[in-house]
C-alpha cells in the first residue's frame, strides 16, 4: 500500500458518502495508517497486503476493511462493523493522493466559530438537545457536539459559501453533518451516522448554551448503599468488588464497552490516571458490556482496548449484552437503569457509593475535557482524605 494521503468514502444505502482522510506510512518495512479527524491521528497498525488485497483491522470496535487494488490506483471494498444484532457492511473506496476532505468552490463571509445551542430531531419527531462548539479558520472548520451522554469527538470539515460540512471516522463513529449558515442561525441540518436514519438539526449562536438538567440519571435504589458483583476478567478469573484488593480503598467503577468511542477516550484517561494513583489507595474496575454473550468474542475485543491503552486495572465482562433491557437488573441490581456509556461510579473507602457521573467529554471538547479532569481529581482527593 503506497505511502501518502488517501480520501476514503463510506457509502450509505441512501447513496450518501461519509468521507475521511488517512495517511499511510512505512514502519519497519510495513504499512501503518493514521486516520485524521481534525487534531486527532488514530494509529491503525494492523495493515496486511497480500497480492491485490489489503486487510485493515481497526484497533478496536470489531471493525475492519477488506479492500482490493484497482487499475486506477484506488482501493475498493467494504467496511465491516459489528453491531449488537448483526454485522454491518458498507461499500468503501480509498482514493490515493487526496489530502483534502471536502472541496471548497466558494468563498465565505460566514464564521461559525463559537458556541451554539443545538436541537437534533429524530425521524419520529422526537427532539434531543446538544451544544456545538466550532472553530473556523478561513474555510477550514473543526469542532464537536456535546450531548448529555458524551461528545461526538473530533469533527473536521469546511465552510463553503453558506454551507457547512463536517465528518469523522474512528472505526465506530462514521458521522457526516451538513447544514446552511445564516449568520447567527444554522438551518436545514442533516446528520448521517453509519446505517442509522438521517436526523435533522438546527442551531442558534449562544455563548451561554447549556444542556438541560432533565436527563434521567443512574442512581442507587432506595435502601441501597453499596454495589455487589463478581464477574470474569479477560483471563477467566473471577474478580469481586468484595475482594481484599479493594478493601479500604477508593474504587472507581467504569461502566463501558469496547464498541464505544467515548469509552475509548475515557479508558485512555483512566489508564494514565491509574498509573499515577494506584499506589495512593485508588483502584479501578471496568465493567465491559459487549455486543455478545460469547465470552471469547467479547474477550478478544476487550483485549484490544487493554493493549492499546496499557490498562493495568481489571476489566470484567458481565454475562449480558449491552442491548439487554435487563442488563442493569442482572448485573448491578442496586442501581436504577444504566443509561449512558461510559458511566463512572465513585466508591468511598468505606465501600459506599459516593457519586455517579454519566457520560464523558473527551479531548475533542477542549475546555470541557480540562474541566472534567479537574473535577475528577478533586473528587478523588476528597475521597482519599475522608
CATH of the domain at 248: 3.40.30.10
35/84 same-domain check: yes
Mean predicted lDDT score pLDDT of the chain: 96
Distances (CA, A) of 304 to 24, 44, 183, 335: 21, 12, 45, 29
pTM of structure: 0.93
The pair phi, psi for residue 215, each rounded to 5°, is -65, 130
- 124-153 pLDDT, tens digit per residue, is 999 999 999 999 999 999 999 999 989 999
Residue 101 lies in a domain: no
280/157 same-domain check: no
Domain that holds residue 71: 4-96
CA-based angle 176:179:182, to the nearest 5?
Answer: 155
The last residue of one of the domains, among 41, 70, 96, is 96
Share of the chain above pLDDT 90, in %: 95
The last residue of one of the domains, among 96, 126, 153, is 96
Instruction: Tell me 234's DSSP state.
Output: T
- Angle formed by the axes of helices 261-277 and 367-385, to 10°? 40
Residue 260 lies in a domain: yes
For the cut 90, the answer to whether the pLDDT of residue 106 exceeds it is no
- 206-224 pLDDT, tens digit per residue, is 999 999 886 678 999 999 9
**370: Cβ–Cβ under 8 A, 6 or more apart, which residues?**
none
236/182 same-domain check: no
At 367 the three-state DSSP class reads helix
Residue 215 lies in a domain: no
- Assign 84 a pLDDT band (cuts: 50, 70, 90): confident
**377: Cβ–Cβ under 8 A, 6 or more apart, which residues?**
none
The last residue of one of the domains, among 205, 222, 252, is 205
Q: Do 20 and 14 meet the contact criterion of CB atoms below 8 Å apart?
A: no
- 342-372 pLDDT, tens digit per residue, is 999 999 999 999 999 999 999 999 999 999 9
266/331 same-domain check: yes
381/235 same-domain check: yes
- Angle formed by the axes of helices 261-277 and 295-309, to 10°? 60
Q: Do 256 and 269 meet the contact criterion of CB atoms below 8 Å apart?
A: no
Distance (Å, whole) CA 356 – CA 343: 7
CATH of the domain at 30: 2.40.128.120
In the chain, how many domains are there? 3
Residue 242 lies in a domain: yes
Distance (Å, whole) CA 328 – CA 356: 15
193/303 same-domain check: no
Amino acid at each position: 500500500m503506497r505511502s501518502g494521503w488517501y480520501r476514503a468514502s463510506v457509502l450509505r444505502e441512501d447513496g450518501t458518502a461519509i468521507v475521511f482522510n488517512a495517511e499511510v506510512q512505512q514502519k519497519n518495512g510495513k504499512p501503518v495508517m493514521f486516520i485524521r479527524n481534525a487534531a486527532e491521528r488514530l494509529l491503525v497498525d494492523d495493515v496486511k497486503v497480500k497480492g491485490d488485497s489489503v486487510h485493515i483491522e481497526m484497533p478496536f470496535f470489531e471493525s475492519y476493511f477488506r479492500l482490493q487494488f484497482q487499475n486506477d490506483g484506488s482501493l475498493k471494498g467494504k467496511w465491516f462493523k459489528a453491531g449488537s444484532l448483526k454485522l454491518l457492511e458498507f461499500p468503501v473506496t480509498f482514493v490515493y493522493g487526496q489530502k483534502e476532505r471536502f472541496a471548497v468552490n466558494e468563498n465565505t463571509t460566514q464564521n461559525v466559530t463559537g458556541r451554539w445551542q443545538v436541537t437534533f430531531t429524530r425521524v419520529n419527531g422526537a427532539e434531543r438537545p446538544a451544544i456545538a462548539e466550532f472553530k473556523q479558520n478561513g474555510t477550514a472548520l473543526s469542532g464537536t457536539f456535546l450531548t448529555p451522554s458524551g461528545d461526538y469527538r473530533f469533527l473536521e470539515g469546511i465552510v463553503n459559501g453558506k454551507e457547512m460540512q463536517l465528518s469523522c471516522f474512528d472505526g465506530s463513529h462514521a458521522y457526516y453533518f451538513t447544514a446552511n449558515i445564516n449568520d447567527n442561525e444554522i438551518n436545514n441540518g442533516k446528520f448521517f451516522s453509519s446505517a442509522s436514519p438521517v436526523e435533522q438539526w438546527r442551531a442558534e449562536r449562544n455563548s451561554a448554551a447549556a444542556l438541560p438538567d432533565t436527563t434521567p440519571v443512574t442512581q442507587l435504589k432506595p435502601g441501597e448503599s453499596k454495589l455487589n458483583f463478581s464477574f470474569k476478567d479477560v483471563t477467566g478469573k473471577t474478580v469481586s468488588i468484595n475482594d481484599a484488593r479493594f478493601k479500604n480503598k477508593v474504587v472507581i467503577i467504569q461502566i463501558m464497552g469496547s464498541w464505544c468511542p467515548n469509552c475509548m477516550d475515557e479508558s485512555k484517561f483512566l489508564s494514565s490516571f491509574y498509573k499515577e494513583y494506584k499506589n495512593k489507595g485508588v483502584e479501578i474496575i471496568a465493567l465491559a458490556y459487549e455486543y455478545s454473550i460469547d465470552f471469547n468474542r467479547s474477550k478478544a475485543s476487550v483485549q484490544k482496548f487493554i493493549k492499546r491503552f496499557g490498562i493495568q486495572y481489571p476489566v470484567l465482562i458481565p454475562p449480558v449484552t449491552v442491548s439487554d433491557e435487563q442488563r442493569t437488573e442482572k448485573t448491578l441490581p442496586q442501581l436504577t437503569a444504566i443509561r449512558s456509556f461510559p458511566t463512572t461510579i465513585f466508591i468511598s473507602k468505606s465501600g459506599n457509593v459516593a457519586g455517579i457521573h454519566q457520560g464523558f467529554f473527551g479531548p475533542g471538547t477542549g475546555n470541557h475535557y480540562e474541566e472534567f479532569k479537574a473535577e475528577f481529581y478533586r473528587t478523588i482527593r476528597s475521597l482519599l482524605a475522608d
